[in-house]
Structure 1
């Protein structure tokens, strides 16, 4: 029986490596780790654009954390290709990259993507793997469990990060926490009919993050700039609580540094893809991927505005973060997201 983990099962990895080789003069790249599985090693690539000044603002785009949700990797690869094309002729992009760093980790879980698994090769859910516990009761199993690796949402060994989780954590610590301001956009799919932007905490419905005013300010800026965007912008815990969320863990770590670190999760609402094409549920990726080629293209286009906005908001953070409004917005944020 042929090994399913041949490179042909990972077109996203092929595309990432082709981009790296074809654009050496425009980008910097590194392999964060090699993931061992069935006598093969699968690389986790990080790609950086812009300034190398560690004190510059930075934004990091992350995808492919859950192997079934490969559309997240494809969205990021598409945006990266767009940026590389614009860098060669667009003056405003060239000028912005002199003062901002843009990072991509587009395929965190290559084994999961190759195998069409949510988990990694050890059957660990990478978004339940971090050493952080929910402060309130989570949903049974869904919130993370250590009963068995054969049940979804397995957290792995206590206080032991998987190779993939450790790679992302080390990269954020080394390349992001030195920045005075940083954003993360982690691209997922599979929840609901609407596209959502989630922020920490996933561990508490009652406790807002320290930078709740800054998050609300960013939300207001997004919808003032693009009033016709239809993202639902809210804390993840508004829908479910879980243990081991990687962004909860890294956000809490960031509070020990001088950075303002705002990790966001883009949860692309895949149920509407199923609603339009129920037969795709017969396929492994059916609940999490658009499947139809024209829908894939539509999704790749639909989030370009959001990613471009976040990139520019990062580069211009001094113009809005320090305007004195974030503090006054804490009360509005609390009323919107926590009073009920």
Structure 2
């Protein structure tokens, strides 16, 4: 595969065409790279009831991490195929709003860079400032776009792609009483991880009990899963995290639950199994062997489907006040090393 091709965008546009009336597609913004213009698509499907719970899938925020976009496209392809025969899926979609931004950073993916064409790391681009020490460079820096993890100039507006994600989340997800998002990345560790905020501080989020209840529900339903659930701050902290920014925005809305999650696929395992991938610009972040790519594309479908069902049935598992206290205590011990509080 040439790094100067963008088959993911072509596949996305084919899915939009194949989706027909099932999918509504729009362009959130258009970005330029190498004298070309690339659309950033937003797809919606399912319930149009503004009171319905919503689930959002986001990918391709880092241009090198093509696999994030590919797993979402694989899930979309599965949904469209199932829509031809699966009455249960239609009943579920009647109750759940689905939102997809599979390729947030097409310019970066075209150029095979982590950042966008302006040299900005979109996951360091929000105005959130870490309240604790962050790793050098990795935590976000404003010195130069030549260096990695560049946040953008101080005082500058967020990049067009970041603003598009925020606009979609604020329009489609935050106004609802319950919403979930999953942002798909790769490149950290030997295991697939499900991260939740915060990234800018070790302080637990207000909805820690709800995250703990969701994790417990998934583990009870699929006890042999291979995900590690944890707050991102357990690994490292950063400035400018986009999902911290949106979560903090959601906290202003009383009585609403917004749970932004990140799937961080452990690409070190792919490199360990095939060290030659390190000689490829994309190899550190994506499975290159055909059989391994197929395995990754199918391995997350259970998790994606679970999230869709959990969103639709959120009233059956969200903890009440007494259960919130128990879940919070359990989570503080498990993820923060704290006693009951």
- Post-superposition offset of 1:7: 11
- 1:336 and 1:7, CA in 2 relative to 1: closer, same or farther beyond 3 A? closer
Q: Which residue of 1 aligns with 2:302?
A: 305
Q: Which residue of 2 aligns with 1:329?
A: 327
Local SS of the residue matching 1:25: helix
**Whole-Å separation in 2 of the counterparts to 1:140 and 1:22:** 45
Alignment of 1:135 with 2:131, yes or no, is yes
Paired residues of 1:86 and 1:93 also in contact (CA < 8 A): yes
**Structure-to-structure mapping, 1:162-201, within 5 angstroms:** 162-201=159-198
**Whole-Å separation in 2 of the counterparts to 1:328 and 1:180:** 22
Q: Which residue of 2 aligns with 1:36?
A: 32
Alignment of 1:292 with 2:292, yes or no, is no
Local SS of the residue matching 1:88: coil
Give the unaligned 5+ runs of structure 2: none
**Structure-to-structure mapping, 1:1-340, within 5 angstroms:** 9-159=5-155, 160-205=157-202, 207-257=203-253, 258-324=255-321, 325-339=323-337
Deviations 1:299-323 (A, max 9, x none): 0010000000011000000011155
Deviations 1:22-62 (A, max 9, x none): 22211111111001233322100011110111211000000
Local SS of the residue matching 1:108: coil
**Whole-Å separation in 1 of the counterparts to 2:324 and 2:267:** 33
Local SS of the residue matching 2:218: helix
Paired residues of 2:201 and 2:237 also in contact (CA < 8 A): yes
Runs of 4+ in 1 over 4 A off after TM superposition: none
**Whole-Å separation in 1 of the counterparts to 2:95 and 2:154:** 40
* TM-score (normalised: structure 2): 0.95
**Whole-Å separation in 2 of the counterparts to 1:96 and 1:183:** 15
Q: Which residue of 2 aligns with 1:3?
A: none
Local SS of the residue matching 1:301: helix
**Whole-Å separation in 2 of the counterparts to 1:149 and 1:169:** 22
Paired residues of 2:213 and 2:319 also in contact (CA < 8 A): no
Paired residues of 1:131 and 1:158 also in contact (CA < 8 A): no
**Whole-Å separation in 2 of the counterparts to 1:179 and 1:192:** 34
Deviations 1:235-287 (A, max 9, x none): 00000010000000000000112420000000000011001110111010011
Local SS of the residue matching 2:152: coil
* TM-score (normalised: structure 1): 0.96
Greater CA deviation, 276-285 or 18-27?
18-27
**Whole-Å separation in 1 of the counterparts to 2:311 and 2:270:** 31
**Whole-Å separation in 2 of the counterparts to 1:302 and 1:121:** 31
Paired residues of 1:213 and 1:326 also in contact (CA < 8 A): yes
Local SS of the residue matching 2:286: coil
**Whole-Å separation in 1 of the counterparts to 2:245 and 2:331:** 22
**Whole-Å separation in 2 of the counterparts to 1:178 and 1:56:** 10
Local SS of the residue matching 1:267: strand
- 1:333 and 1:7, CA in 2 relative to 1: closer, same or farther beyond 3 A? closer
**Whole-Å separation in 1 of the counterparts to 2:73 and 2:149:** 27
**Whole-Å separation in 1 of the counterparts to 2:100 and 2:336:** 32
Deviations 1:173-205 (A, max 9, x none): 011111110000000000010000000000112
